[in-house]
Amino acid sequence: MATRASTLFGSDVSLQTPPKWASGQTIRPDYAILDASAVTTTATRLYYVPMFFPRAESFSGIRTYNQGTGDNGETYRCGIYEESTNGGPGSLLQDCGEVTLTGAAAVRTLAQSFSISTPGWHYLAMHFNSDAAMYRMYLGATAAQIQRAQLFGDYETLQNSNTSTAAKHFAYVDTAYGALASTAVAPTNGDWVCPSIAVYKA
C-alpha cells in the first residue's frame, strides 16, 4: 500500500501557498478537519497521516488529542517520516517520544523539536500500544476539502454515513509496539478516519 501523496496531490495541496506559520500555532493537514467524536484505536496499530510542508521550517513537536473516556495508563508514540521515493512513508525524520494517558481529556504535547529541510510531503506517525479513545480527524465537506478528497479518489460527499465506500485516506499497519523504526514499516491498509495529530510551533 505505497500510495504516494505527491502523486495524488501534486506539489502543493493548498489553493495558494499559506503564510509562514507563526509561534503559538498548531497545524494539522489542511485537507482534514478535527472532530470531537471519538475514534477508538487498535492496539499495535501504527497510523500514517500525510501532511504537506510548503517550505523548510522548524517545529517544536507534535500534539494529539485524547477524548479521555476510560483511558488511564494507555501509551502511544508519535513521530514524523519523510516520503519514500517509491511512495508512502520512508526514512524516520524524528521519533518525538511517548504519551501516557492519565484519564482526562486533554491536548497531549510531545515537545521534541524537528526541522523540515526538504519541502514536500511527509507522514505524521502514531503508534498505539493499547486501545485508546482519541478525537478523530477526517476529510471535511467544504468545496476546497472535497476537491482535495477527489484527488485521493473520493467522489463521495465526505460528511456521510456511507463509510464503506469512502476512500481510505489514512494508511496503517499492525506491528509490534516500540520505538519508531528508522525505515517505516510499510502500511498494509487504510481508513477514512484516524486519530487527530498535528505539529506545533511554541
For the record, the C-alpha cell of 76 comes out as: 502511544
For the record, the C-alpha cell of 191 comes out as: 481508513
Q: pLDDT at position 36, please?
A: 81
Query: Does any domain span residue 151?
Result: no
Q: Count how many domains the chain has.
A: 1
Q: Report mean pLDDT in 10-residue bins for the chain, 202 residues.
A: 47 55 88 82 94 92 88 92 91 97 89 95 95 84 56 45 55 95 94 90 93
User: What's the domain range around 63?
Assistant: 34-138+174-200
Handedness of CA 159, 155, 120, 6 (dihedral sign): positive
Query: Does any domain span residue 99?
Result: yes
What's the pTM? 0.81
- What's the CATH code of the domain at 89? 2.60.120
Q: pLDDT at position 11, please?
A: 43
Q: pLDDT at position 62, please?
A: 98
Query: Does any domain span residue 188?
Result: yes
Q: pLDDT at position 76, please?
A: 96
Query: Does any domain span residue 58?
Result: yes
Three-class DSSP labels, the chain: CCCCHHHHHCCCCCCCCCCCCCCCCEECCCCEEEEEEEEECCCCEEEEEEEEECCCEEECEEEEEECCCCCCCCEEEEEEEEECCCCCEEEEEEEEEEEECCCCCEEEEECCCEEECCCEEEEEEEEECCCCEEEEEEECCCHHHHHHHHHCCCCCCCCCCCCCCCCCCEEEEECCCCCCCCECCCCCEEECEEECEEEECC
